[in-house]
Chains A and B, each alone.
Chain A
Amino acid sequence: MHHLTDELSIAIVGLEEEKVMALVKERLQAGVKPLDIVKKLQDGMTEVGNLFEAQEYYLSELINCGAIMKAAMVELEPHLAGSEQEYRGNIVIGTVKGDIHDLGKDIVVMLLKGTGYNVLDLGVDVPPEKFVDAVKEHNAPLLALSVLLTSCLESMKEAVTAVKEAGLDVKVLIGGPMIDDKVTAYCGADFGSTLANDGVKIAEKVIGA
């Protein structure tokens, strides 16, 4: 079903938590560079995103995989200190003002982090100026805005407008269950999607693989 050859990458795709943890520990002891281990985990996570998109994996698998990834990162964290983790780029993300829903956003965060981006999660109910400040501060080429409530699309539009008016060199991706071309155009965003894995694809397009 996939092209992965590394045992650790395959184990995370198979949601084999015990095996993932054992392999991480084993490789650390054997002196494998922690960043190389992270890379293998990310390869697995990328595949999980693809399987989700292909409708072979469902949210239950995706969330479980995220939890395994998190546990593995806790194990790896102390060993990563000092070694400069190379991120693929900075991405600012948050749920727009007036909306406190975080499930969709958290899934996208999980996929983006899992595939190697430095994700700055501003949380929920985020006012437009906070997005502007964060994009400036982190010099982020991509801003991702989440919304669940159709009644908060005005607020989405305000956030996109604020960022565009600030003249920042940033692409804006909006995500939520009702996002289509019409809504994307209405909000003035560069990209819009209903699919979590599109977050990763658009990040690759904007920031580069």
Chain B
Amino acid sequence: MREINYLQGIREGLQHVLEHDPTALLFGQDVGAFGGAFKLTDGLQETFGCERVFDTPICESAMLGCAIGMATQGLHPIVEMQFADFITTALHQLLNNAGTRHYRTGNAVPMVIRAPSGGGSGGGPFHSEELESFFCHMPGVKVVYPAFPSDARALIVSAVADPNPVVYMENKTIYRTVKERVSDELEPVPIGKARVCHEGQDAVVIAYGAMVHEALRAAGELQASDGYEVMVLDLRSLKPYDLDTILAAVAATGRALVVSEGWKTCGFAAEISAAITESAFHLLDAPVRRLTAPDTPIPFSATLENRYRPSAPAIATALRQLIEF
């Protein structure tokens, strides 16, 4: 066992794939010799060569189009969006081209798009976005969003092995702050399975990405301050999401808080909230609650952004209200 951070988990996943799958290749802006804007791909070009790890011009649409072409001709491309925000200049390639292709033609499109997401580090409105609700809205596209180094490592492998376009969301705010002891042996994590990462029976927080860690802090605080035992459910996959595990958690607690750092209206938290209400209304002791970012552009200043992003104290407050409903 050894300790790695979240960024190392992703890198080790990429290394594993490049080592074991000769058809896998990785490309994006500055991912080669430079090692990526976050140094996440540092050393990969040196190890695997310029043919398999390479830089592209700034052309998100051509990058995704190229990946579709490669994926339909026997390769497993992994495309890094330098920041998830920039994929909006190429959404048609994902929604219309990759996402519809199997349904329309029967041709599989096994490709992975890495989307460094999330705020909290002064990225401002164009380097902090959480676009999971865009991606999850697209037929034919899968979406995963790990919160821990071990899941980050394993889900890269699952995403590349999947014969469909997979958006692999990764939270850049926790790249170096979230650490975990992992074994050298990679334990597989299937797409579509959530994980209970803290047990409790008074309420459940359903979260993903960086918000899992805020929720865990909130659960710890509530335990210490009020004696409440709060379950934390890490979704890990957003499409498909693990409805069975969500409903089991609701059955065990009767109270659910869905936390997302994405925008509120039509956000992913709304989907989970609706799914719970639709399937488990009879199990609820209180209305399902959402805690999300407000419907504003992402502000730059630390004071504004701290208010904008759901945090452990805000989650604890919402949980207290939910439990005492």
Are A and B co-members of a single complex?
no
Q: Give chain B's interface residues, CB within 8 Å of chain A.
A: none
Q: Give chain A's interface residues, CB within 8 Å of chain B.
A: none
